[in-house]
Amino acid sequence: MLTPAQRAQQARAAVLASWANTPDPTARTAPGRAAFLSRFERAVDPEGQLPERERARRAEHARRSYFARLALRSSRARAARKGAADATP
């Protein structure tokens, strides 16, 4: 029987082998990227009433805002970890 850590290692090896046999990784992940990016269009225009160009412009700003907030959260988490490490005797 495998430990949880061994199962995780086995799964990681299987995923890496799968990606090694993928001729076009970009094409393989395209549907997921498209679904992720479409969420921003749905957020800024849930009823689909805006012209395509305006919806795309707003979605781009919503996407950039999302990643800026994500970067801020990451920065705060790193600072908190660093502060905790500095406080350790």
Residue 47 pLDDT? 96
Q: Note whether 41 and 57 are within 8 A (CB).
A: no
Domain boundaries defined on the chain: 30-89
Q: Note whether 22 and 28 are within 8 A (CB).
A: yes
pLDDT 10s digits, 13-30: 999 999 999 999 999 999
Q: How confident is the model at residue 89 (pLDDT cuts 50, 70, 90)?
A: low
pLDDT 10s digits, 11-70: 999 999 999 999 999 999 999 999 999 999 999 999 999 999 999 999 999 999 999 999
